[in-house]
Structure 1
């Protein structure tokens, strides 16, 4: 039996690259990396140019499945004057161009890595987000991801190409950057943080768990035309996250017990409400649908994922 050809976009990014490495480890798959820029995958598998901004699309001949991880990503401090238009150009128009080409080329299944931001910005106990809840995106990034999902569902109804949507929350793991890497730097340097009294609950997902779910969705019959949320299956407060991460790093967590309401007040005064929401607000995910339809549970524990993340930081980032 010939290997299943799977094209992965965003292959130079955190998620896309991890997906390709996972596929390379399984002989039943023949991964093709589609990347806008340089990638460490050169020489390991077929690499094709792909740029949603420039309408540079990869060849899709004999490709069975497309995993679309490329996107204009959410940033904390958006600088574009019309951010929604810029997000739509890439996340909606670019995604649909690729998906149409995939359908025309006979691709059987299109897996779209979306975002929990399609569901909304946060939940309040005891409520949690479920995969089939009514979406409520708030910011331009979340809106663009939701519009892309809708466009893909319409394309499925027109062409029959199967569509699978996966909405992750914050993804962490070896090689993670941005705010999660910053947290590791703060803990490593022993910087006191006013985050010792945060009692929120947030869902996260280790890169190993996200990639495992994507792997399952490549050929699981029950995944066709479904939307899935994904998490580690263990929610943490910001305080718990920092303590668990510090333990994985072998460093003390110097967390000052400042009340959450005072942090929110200070953030509002400084115009950093969105940042305060991520630190103090709750965002919980129910992955029960994954268990029921796919028999899937997260294979990587939070502590193991944090150890892997800390080990990579020590070996590759720490100065």
Structure 2
């Protein structure tokens, strides 16, 4: 049995992973801990095989007053936690980084491959990248370091752009039909990937994503249809939205392009247990009436 410690006891990803691994009571023992105060430093890490580090500031802020806090939490706290894990004999340290290390989405096609160099466009992305660079040197035969760079994560109870789009899908009669591609990752696919990574005692950088790219308008239409709503996709707004895309952040977030080359996310075992339609059903908790 592997013993796993999750940092960030109230985090969305951490909570979901704990529930996911609870399905395997004979294979995994899970604890979680908050790093909001210094009490965690007294915690004995030596009893754990794996530390899954998700504690951090997860949202993007442009407030310069927040910059120091981002580096303190996302960079410094990550490095300090990894150093403690190594000293106390933990075998594997898994860090939740983000696709944000590659910068923002673009109004033009943007594909990340193995040769793409990270270029953060804000201090959130830079704090994640510096955390990666801080923990990588700790790697050894006895201490395996895993860095995950997932795209936008969604699922029931998630925060961010997905729940906003889901509300729009159930209210608006029309939605802009813009050709774009986004890599996304349903929470169940992420949790299964993490489970496999733990099982295989992996190390290195990984780029998990769903098996298909997402076009925003098609996803919104799918959400609407699953709630019995009709939404018409129209191109009339496209010229204006494309003109605004590079200047207004929210437009770029919703309709921009940012994908991992699909082969970058392949793994020797299947972790993509939900396709897009199944993931929407699971996220919206749709109950079919017979």
Question: Could you say whether these structures have the same fold, taking a TM-score greater than 0.5 normalized by the shorter chain as the test?
Answer: yes
1:162 pairs with 2:144: yes
Local SS of the residue matching 1:66:
strand
Q: Give me the TM-score of the superposition, normalised by structure 1.
A: 0.81
1:98 — aligned with what?
Answer: 81
Where do 1:220-259 residues align within 5 Å?
220-221=200-201, 223-224=202-203, 226-259=204-237
Root-mean-square deviation (Å):
2.4
Local SS of the residue matching 2:139:
helix
Number of positions where the alignment pairs a residue of Structure 1 with one of Structure 2: 285
2:255 — aligned with what?
Answer: 280
Unaligned runs of 5+ in 2: none
Structure 1 CA distance for aligned equivalents of residues 228 and 262 of structure 2:
31
1:111 — aligned with what?
Answer: 94
- After superposition, the Cα gap between the structure-2 partners of 1:124 and 1:212, relative to the gap in structure 1 and judged at 3 Å, is farther
Contact between 1:131 and 1:229, CA under 8 Å: does it hold in 2?
no
1:128 pairs with 2:116: no
Unaligned runs of 5+ in 1: 36-49, 315-319
1:56 — aligned with what?
Answer: 40
Contact between 2:245 and 2:256, CA under 8 Å: does it hold in 1?
no
Contact between 1:123 and 1:284, CA under 8 Å: does it hold in 2?
no
Where do 1:267-306 residues align within 5 Å?
273-292=248-267, 294-306=268-280
The CA deviation string for residues 208-248 of structure 1, in whole angstroms up to 9 with x for no partner, is: 00111111111314x22x11111112112211111122223
Local SS of the residue matching 2:46:
coil
Q: How many angstroms does 1:299 deviate by?
A: 1.5
Q: Give me the TM-score of the superposition, normalised by structure 2.
A: 0.89
Moved beyond 4 Å, runs of 4+: 123-127
